[in-house]
Amino acid sequence: MSSLRIFFVGGLTSYRALFGFLTPWVYVPSLLVAPIFQILLFVYIGRNAGLESDEFYVVGNALQFASIPCLFAMTQAIAGERYQQTLGYILVSPAPRLPLFVGRALPVIGNGAVVSAFSLAVSGAILGIHVPTSSLPTLTLVIIVTTASCTGLGLINAGLGLRIRETAVLSNVIFGVLLVFSGANVPLRALPHWMRVISDVLPLTHGIQAARRVADGASFADVGRLTAPRR
């Protein structure tokens, strides 16, 4: 019971404590406007290069940008505590570690999904991308699974934050690696073999592939393999 309380209440409280992050003055420019322009940037580069359709970049970048809130908010679970000088108290408390830190991941996944869905809807409307209404529930599920995987990366980053001071730099570097390797903008066939090997182990790559197929009308049964945990 205590673990459940730590998981839900502790997670929500810690997320609400990200004052600097959740204020509209930061949230709107960083998480609602920036992804739209990232999408437009790659759509126009794609048109200039004559590579893929607009939909390819809209779906790819809407999901890839979700890594920003997931990585940064999750990493703050450690870095923020250190900044507030409460990390020591948290670590010596008898609260079980798993619900303590994983509980903080739940609101982050929800926020990442909202950012991704908003970017997809707005940029889709601007560029005239049509997604079948029947695909929306499956697309939502794929977005949630993908943001959960990005939050997992954020948890790893948070763990590294116990040893590394510059977690913001590390989060940005991971974001850059995902941009290059996830296939959000470069079709995987255009990457060298060694890069495709790395792409293949990134959950985001499979999430983006699944979302593209769902946007084209595929059912969950068609893409379930792409979003399921891998052995």
Partner 1 sequence: MRTARLLALGWLFHFKMLTRSAFDGLLGVLYPLFFATVAFFMFRAGHDSRSLLYASLGAAVMGVWSSTSTSAGAAMQRERWHGTLELLVASPTHFSLVLIPATIAQTSIGLYSMAATLFWGRVLFGIGVSIVHPAVFVLSVAATVLSIGTAGFLLAVSFVRYRAAWALGNMLEYPVWLVAGFLVPLSLFPGWVRPISWILAPTWGMNAIRESALGGTPWPDVGMCLLLGAAYTLTGVLMLDRVLRAARRRAALSLT
Chain residues in the site for partner 1 (CB under 8 A):
20, 23, 25-26, 29-30, 33-34, 37-38, 40-42, 44-51, 166, 168-169, 172-173, 175-177, 179-180, 185-187, 190-191
Q: Give me the amino acid identity at 183.
A: G
Q: Are 104 and 11 in contact (CB under 8 A)?
A: yes
| Nearest partner of 203 among 120, 147, 134, 122, judged by Cα | 147
Q: Which is nearer to partner 1, 25 or 85 (CB)?
A: 25
How many residues in the chain? 231
CA pair distance 24, 20, nearest whole angstrom: 9
**Minimum distance between the CB of residue 139 and partner 1, rounded to whole angstroms?**
24
Q: Which is nearer to partner 1, 49 or 98 (CB)?
A: 49
DSSP character at residue 66:
T
Q: Which is nearer to partner 1, 123 or 138 (CB)?
A: 123
> Dihedrals φ, ψ of 104, to 5°?
-70, -15
**Minimum distance between the CB of residue 33 and partner 1, rounded to whole angstroms?**
5
Q: Which is nearer to partner 1, 189 or 230 (CB)?
A: 189
Q: Which is nearer to partner 1, 15 or 42 (CB)?
A: 42
**Minimum distance between the CB of residue 25 and partner 1, rounded to whole angstroms?**
5
CA pair distance 92, 221, nearest whole angstrom: 46
**Minimum distance between the CB of residue 9 and partner 1, rounded to whole angstroms?**
28
Tokens of 90: 């948290």
**Minimum distance between the CB of residue 168 and partner 1, rounded to whole angstroms?**
6
